[in-house]
Amino acid sequence: MKITEKYVNESHLEEVYQLLHKGEKLIDLDLENVKSVLVGKEGILYEAYKDGGAENGAFMEEFFDTVKKMEMVQNCTGILFNITMPDDDQLMMEDMDIINCFLKLFEEKNMMIRWGLRVDEQGSQTSILMICTKDKQ
């Protein structure tokens, strides 16, 4: 799995907001959610797309297992992530368990976590976009 990384800060606010709004919302991330994680902060945007034959659960496990080892993720004070899925490949309860397991890593930290879920009726690949931020140095 290839995970792309890009530096982001509040100057990328509109770009990030547009990335999050592909497809029909199920659990929405609005502009205020994006602002709460980006304004006055800097961080890394991670993005990955599921390979054709992979199961959603395996894709999400690999993504979360990989990013949780990254220094920015370990030291961040805010996380925003969005999962976009084709309308014929819906999220299952087992997939939610994977998300909850990842989020439990941050239970003891006093941090902001926002997440969303969208369905892309255009039939694109399942993808995860995650932003991890911390206060500017």
47-83 pLDDT, tens digit each: 999 887 788 889 999 999 999 999 999 999 999 999 9
pLDDT at 43: 94
Contact 125, 49 (CB under 8 A): yes
Give the pLDDT of residue 23.
Answer: 59
Q: What is the pLDDT of residue 25?
A: 66
Please tell me the predicted confidence (pLDDT) of residue 79. Answer: 93
Domain ranges of the chain: 3-135
Do residues 50 and 125 touch, judged by C-beta distance below 8 A? Answer: yes
Q: Give pLDDT < 70 ranges for the chain.
A: 22-25, 123
The single-letter DSSP state of residue 12 is G
* Per-residue confidence (pLDDT) for residue 89, from 0 to 100: 75
The architecture CATH gives domain 3-135: 2-Layer Sandwich (3.30)
Partners of 75 in beta bridges: none
* Pairing status of strand 24-27 against strand 112-120: antiparallel
d(CA 58, CA 67): 14
Cα–Cα distance, 96 to 128 (Å, whole number) = 14
